[in-house]
Amino acid sequence: MNFYFSNDIKAIREMLGLTQAELAEKLGVQQITISRNETGQTEPSERLLELVYSFAFSNNIKLGKLKEMLWLENLKPGHKLLLHGAKSVIEGELSAQKSRTNNDFGQGFYTGENYEQAVSFVSSFDRPSIYYLDLDAKNLRCKEYKVNRDWMMTIAYYRGTLDDYADHPMIKKLVAESRDCDYIIAPIADNRMFQIINSFIIGEITDEQCKHCLAATNLGKQYIFVSDKSVKRLKILERSYVSDNEREYYRNLKIGDAKLGEDKVKLARIRYRGKGKYIDEILK
């Protein structure tokens, strides 16, 4: 799927109150280039894509966020808008089997609830895309997790740090439950959060300390589609371009949030010290 560039460039120009000639001058291109791209007569080059979307973002037009708002307004009753951050472009049909096996819940198609969340997870890649998706979850089986011990240990298993306990009845039960569904709703565990979970797995902190540390670093929810049936109920609505200056903006936001989260984690470690159980007490 290509970007809706002809619609976007025209919308950006009109939102800024510019003529085609004025926009061309500001971008350093010919007016005919703007005209042909607005009418869809030609496909935009990588250079033009970056010029236009970067220009919009530098003029405070957060097009990706605006599109999210518009798609939300037009959802059918009972449907859910989700977003997927891709390193580049999705090739072929959506699939639950193409992702890595060591993600939070193993293989699946991973999505999030909002635009900022999606961008923040792909902001370090050179040419990421954000996909807007419509979910019709009717008659799909859902497994929902909270920030608790089951969630922590399930993630630890799929991330490969519970291999020594893989045959434990509790772990087998958790793994079975994570696949007895079509899709999963769960708190996101990025690498920073996984480091906290790993501290619990190696016996540095208790389950209570871990739970409260993780709650302090809330990143929102993720939707993971683990069955072919559930993936087929996702419809791609649009693919959105992310300019270099927008990626930098969200990278900096993530850095700021990380610092606040680190301080909350330190406080949670102190406040819940000695409470709860260590991993070897739970899996004895």
The reply to whether 44 and 160 lie within a common domain is no
Is residue 23's pLDDT more than 70?
Answer: yes
Q: pLDDT for 167-180, tens place per residue?
A: 999 999 999 999 99
Is residue 99's pLDDT more than 90?
Answer: no
The reply to whether 137 and 153 lie within a common domain is yes
The reply to whether 158 and 57 lie within a common domain is no
The reply to whether 38 and 73 lie within a common domain is no
pTM of the model: 0.90
**How far apart are alpha carbons 37 and 94 in whole angstroms?**
29
The reply to whether 221 and 83 lie within a common domain is yes
Count how many domains the chain has: 2
Q: pLDDT for 221-252, tens place per residue?
A: 999 999 999 999 999 999 999 999 999 998 88
How would residue 197 be classed by pLDDT, with cut points 50, 70 and 90?
Answer: confident
Question: Residue 26: exposed, middle, or buried by beta-carbon count in 10 A (0-12, 13-18, 19+)?
Answer: middle
pLDDT, greater one: 13 or 165: 13
The reply to whether 53 and 76 lie within a common domain is no
The reply to whether 50 and 72 lie within a common domain is no
Sequence-separated (6 or more) residues with CB below 8 Å from residue 252: none
Range of the domain at 28: 1-61
The reply to whether 254 and 265 lie within a common domain is yes
The reply to whether 95 and 45 lie within a common domain is no
The reply to whether 80 and 207 lie within a common domain is yes
The reply to whether 229 and 249 lie within a common domain is yes
The reply to whether 134 and 12 lie within a common domain is no
